[in-house]
Structure 1
Amino acid sequence: MSLNYPFTEIPAAAELSEVAPGVFWLRMPLPFQLDHINLWLLRDGDGWTIVDTGFPADEVQLAWKAILARLDGPVKRLIVTHFHPDHLGLASWLMAETGAELWMTSGEFLTAHAVWQEVGGHGARFMVEQFRRHGLDGEHLARFEKRGSGYRKAVPALPEYYRRVKAGDSLMIDCHTWQTIIGYGHAPEHMSLYCAELGVLISGDMLLPRISTNISVFAATPDADALRWYLDSLDVLAREIPQQTLVLPSHGLPFTGVQARVGALHAHHEERLHALENSCEHAPQSAAGLLDVLFGRALDTHQTMFAMGEAIAHLNYLEQAGRLSRSIDADGVIRYSRLQHRPAAH
C-alpha cells in the first residue's frame, strides 16, 4: 500500500481550498526549516470553526485578517490541537479578533501555561539540567542558558480560559459529528478530529505524510516512554480510521493511506532503535553522544533541543523494553549499554 495525494495544488497565502464539503485548507508560513503549517476552516451552520492558529508573525496576522474579512458569518470557536507555538501562538489574538471561544484538552492548555511561566519542571533551566545529565557538552549547555525559554518569545500571550475537550467527545460542527482522538508522545494530550460522515481526519502533528513528528522526553517527566506512547497512538489510528479516509495533516499534503503511513513510521523508528542499540554494543553511550547516529548532520541550537529530546525518547524506549541498560557515571552522566542477554518475552 502507498499514500495517495488527491490535492497537490497548495493554497496561496490568505486563500482557501475546499478539500471536503465545508472543510477548507489554509497554509501559513513558519520561520523554521519546516517552513509551513496547514490550518483548517470548517463551515459551522451560519458561522465557522477554526482548527489551529499559525505562528504569531505579522504576515500570518495579515493573512488571517484578509480571510476573516471574507467570511460570511462569525467564527464560533477556535479548536487547538496542542500547545506548540505554530498551533496555539495566535489563539489570544484570534479570540480577540473574532470573539470565538477556545476549545482544547486540559493537558495542552495547562502545559502551555507551565511552559510559558517556566514552572513545574518546564522551561530552560530544567531543560539545561536534563541535557547535562544526558551528556551534552558545556558549550551547547551555555547556548541554551543564554537562549532561555523560546516559548514565551514564540507565544506572546496565552488565553486564560477555555472549553475543555476530552478523549472520545463528539463535537457537532455543521450537523456533522467530529470525534476527538487523543494521541500521546508528541504532546501531552494532542487532539485529532475524525468525521466518519465526511471521511476526514484532521490529524494535527500525530500523523504526517513525509516526516515523523518530533517525539521528545521533557525534564518534568524524565523517564517517560514517549516513543511507545506515540507508536501506540498510531496503532489506534490504524485500527479505527478507514484506509480511504482523507487525512489532513499539519505539515505536508493531505493524503489517504493511514495504515500504510503508520506501518512506515513503525519501520522508521525500529530502524533508528536498532542503530542506537548497535551503537551501545561496545561501550556505554550518552544521548548526546548518539546524536550523530540518529541524525547524521550538523544541528543548530534549535535543532539540538529537539534532537536531544528525541534521542532520550528512543533510549528510554530501549531501556524499558529491556534492550539497553542504564548507568550513571562518576560525573552524573546517564549512559546506556546493550544487554547481551535480553529477558525472555512473555
Structure 2
Amino acid sequence: MTKNKAGVSKGEAKALAQASVADHRRGVVEDDGLWYPHGDAVPEGSTVIPVADGVYWARMPLPWSLDHINVYLFDEGDSWSVVDTGSMGKRGIAAWEALEADFLGGKPISRVIGTHLHPDHIGLAGWLAERFGASLTMTALEYMTASNLWMGGTKEVPDNEIEFMLKSGVDPQFEPMMRSARFDNYRRGVHQLPPRYIRVEDGSDLMLGGRRWRVVIGRGHSPEHACLSCLDEPLFISGDQVLPNITSNVSVHAREPEANPLAHWITSLERMKGIPGDPLVLPSHGRVFKGLETRLTALVDSHLGKLKSLHDWCSEARTPVETFPSLFRRKLTGMDFYMALGEALAHLHLLESLSLMKRTFDGDVYRFEAVGTYDASLVAGQAKALPGVALRELADIY
C-alpha cells in the first residue's frame, strides 16, 4: 500500500481530511415534520419548564461540545423523582445545588432513574443518592456495565484497546500517542454508583408523578437503554434513543469487537414506531417535541443511506479507517475519531452480518469489501431476523 512521507496511506489521508462524525454531540439531522410546543424556549440555570402537571424539564451543564443534558423532575408530594443527572463535576454539582435552593422547595430527591450508563446520564446518581438518600433504578445491563467500566478505569490504556485500533487501520505511528491517553475518563465522569439498585426490564411498570409509566427497552447506543412510556397520558421519555436534530452514536468497542449494535439500533427504532398516542417526547438533548414516528423514520433512513454509501465505497477492499469518506464529512481528531471508528465498524458489521460485506485479515489489519446487491427496503427486516436481535413485540408489553 502506497504511503506518504508521514507514513499514512492515501486512503487513510483522504479519510482523515474529509471525515465528519454524526454522533450525539454533533451531526445535525434534519427535523422536518417535528413540532416544538415550547418553541425555542429551554430551561436555563435553575429555572425549569413544566411539560405536564407535576412534570418539569430542567437542564444540567456538560463540559463537552454538547453542553447540556435534559433531566426531568416529578413531584411525588413529599419528595421528587428525577430521570438522569448530568456528569460528575463542579458545574454539575453547582447546578443541582442551585436547583435545590431555587426549585425543590425543601423536598428531597427520593429516586433517581438512569436511562443508561453514559456519564452525562448517571454521572451524579451516586452523589444524589448520598446527598438525599435516593434510590437508583436502572436496567441490569446498564448498571452492571457501568460498574465494570468504573472499576476498570486506569491511567494506562489496555493493550486490547490499542490492538483494536491498529487492526481497524489506524497507522502504527500513532501508537505512542494512543498509549499516552488516559483510560479512566469514565471513572472521572461518574461518581461511584450506589452499591445497590432497583432493576427494571422491558415491560416493567413505574409510578412517577402520580402516573403509570412502562419501560420500553432500546439497544444499540447502549446495551439496555430504558425509555419510559406513560400509560395515563401521551408522554414518552426517550433518553438518547430518540433525539431531535441530532443522532446518537452507535459504535463497536474494543471490549466487544465483533458486536453488531446497528442491527439492535435499527430494530429498536422500528419497534418504537408502535408507541401509541403520538406522545410528547422528552429527549435527553435538544428540545421537547412531537412527531415521534416521523423522527424514528428519519433516524432509520439516515442509517440506511449510510449503509448504501458504505456498500458502494467498498467496491474495493478498505480498512475501517479508509471507509470514513463514505460516512463522514469533516476531519476527525481525538475522541471524535474514536467514536467515528466505532460507528464505521457498526455499519460494516451490519453489512457483514447480512452477507453484503466480506472481511479479510492480512495479519495486521482488517479490510472489508462489498458483495451482493444492497436493497435498503430489506435491511430492517433482515436485521431483526438476526440471532439475538429481536425484542418481543411492543404490543406484548402494553
Which TM class, normalised by the smaller chain length?
Answer: over 0.9
2:54 aligns with: 22
Aligned counterpart in structure 2 of residue 319 of structure 1, from 352, 377, 381? 352
| Correspondence 1:103-182 to 2 at 5 A | 103-118=137-152, 124-149=158-183, 150-182=185-217
% same residue: 38
Residues 1:259 and 2:293 are matched in the alignment: yes
| Correspondence 1:39-78 to 2 at 5 A | 39-69=71-101, 70-72=103-105, 73-78=107-112
The two structures have a TM-score, normalised by structure 1, of 0.93
The two structures have a TM-score, normalised by structure 2, of 0.81
In the TM superposition, residue 248 of structure 1 has moved relative to its aligned partner by 0.6
Aligned counterpart in structure 2 of residue 337 of structure 1, from 357, 369, 385? 369
Quick check: 2:314–2:323 contact (8 Å CA) kept in 1? Answer: no
Quick check: 1:124–1:144 contact (8 Å CA) kept in 2? Answer: no
Residues 1:297 and 2:326 are matched in the alignment: no
1:247 aligns with: 281
Quick check: 2:241–2:248 contact (8 Å CA) kept in 1? Answer: yes
What whole-Å deviation, never above 9, does each CA across 1:161-187 have from its counterpart, x for those lacking one? 211111111001233101011110000
Quick check: 1:134–1:288 contact (8 Å CA) kept in 2? Answer: yes
2:385 aligns with: none
Quick check: 2:211–2:230 contact (8 Å CA) kept in 1? Answer: yes
Distance 1:174 1:41 in 2: 8
Quick check: 2:82–2:111 contact (8 Å CA) kept in 1? Answer: yes
Distance 1:173 1:86 in 2: 21
**SS state of the match for residue 239, structure 1?**
coil
Quick check: 1:201–1:248 contact (8 Å CA) kept in 2? Answer: yes
Name the count of aligned residue pairs. 339
In the TM superposition, residue 5 of structure 1 has moved relative to its aligned partner by 0.7
Quick check: 1:45–1:175 contact (8 Å CA) kept in 2? Answer: no
Describe the shift of the 1:25–1:125 C-alpha distance in structure 2 as closer, same or farther (beyond 3 A).
farther
Distance 1:91 1:247 in 2: 23
Quick check: 2:115–2:225 contact (8 Å CA) kept in 1? Answer: yes
Distance 1:316 1:3 in 2: 31
Quick check: 2:238–2:284 contact (8 Å CA) kept in 1? Answer: yes
Quick check: 1:124–1:148 contact (8 Å CA) kept in 2? Answer: no
Aligned counterpart in structure 2 of residue 3 of structure 1, from 24, 34, 40? 34
What whole-Å deviation, never above 9, does each CA across 1:128-161 have from its counterpart, x for those lacking one? 2222211112244433321121212222423222
Residues 1:33 and 2:33 are matched in the alignment: no
2:221 aligns with: 186
Quick check: 1:322–1:342 contact (8 Å CA) kept in 2? Answer: no
Give 5+ residue unaligned stretches, structure 2: 1-31, 383-398
Describe the shift of the 1:141–1:231 C-alpha distance in structure 2 as closer, same or farther (beyond 3 A).
farther
Distance 1:130 1:216 in 2: 13
Quick check: 1:118–1:124 contact (8 Å CA) kept in 2? Answer: no
Equivalent AA in structure 2 for residue 75 of structure 1: I
**SS state of the match for residue 240, structure 1?**
coil
What whole-Å deviation, never above 9, does each CA across 1:222-271 have from its counterpart, x for those lacking one? 2222111011111121112332x100111111111111011111111111
In the TM superposition, residue 114 of structure 1 has moved relative to its aligned partner by 1.4
Describe the shift of the 1:125–1:198 C-alpha distance in structure 2 as closer, same or farther (beyond 3 A).
farther
| CA root-mean-square deviation | 1.9
Residues 1:278 and 2:309 are matched in the alignment: no
**Structure 1 residues 291-300 or 333-342, which shifts more?**
333-342
Describe the shift of the 1:154–1:200 C-alpha distance in structure 2 as closer, same or farther (beyond 3 A).
same
| Correspondence 1:215-254 to 2 at 5 A | 215-243=250-278, 245-254=279-288
**SS state of the match for residue 71, structure 2?**
strand
**SS state of the match for residue 253, structure 1?**
coil
In the TM superposition, residue 57 of structure 1 has moved relative to its aligned partner by 2.2
**SS state of the match for residue 227, structure 1?**
helix
2:136 aligns with: 102
In the TM superposition, residue 124 of structure 1 has moved relative to its aligned partner by 4.8
Quick check: 1:143–1:301 contact (8 Å CA) kept in 2? Answer: no
Equivalent AA in structure 1 for residue 257 of structure 2: P
What whole-Å deviation, never above 9, does each CA across 1:191-231 have from its counterpart, x for those lacking one? 11111313111100000011110001122322222111011
Equivalent AA in structure 2 for residue 96 of structure 1: E
Distance 1:77 1:340 in 2: 51
**Structure 1 residues 312-321 or 171-180, which shifts more?**
171-180
The runs of at least 4 consecutive aligned structure 1 residues that moved more than 6 Å come to none
**Structure 1 residues 217-226 or 319-328, which shifts more?**
217-226
Describe the shift of the 1:140–1:304 C-alpha distance in structure 2 as closer, same or farther (beyond 3 A).
farther
Equivalent AA in structure 1 for residue 151 of structure 2: Q
Quick check: 2:55–2:209 contact (8 Å CA) kept in 1? Answer: no
Describe the shift of the 1:342–1:194 C-alpha distance in structure 2 as closer, same or farther (beyond 3 A).
closer
2:249 aligns with: 214
Quick check: 1:144–1:301 contact (8 Å CA) kept in 2? Answer: no
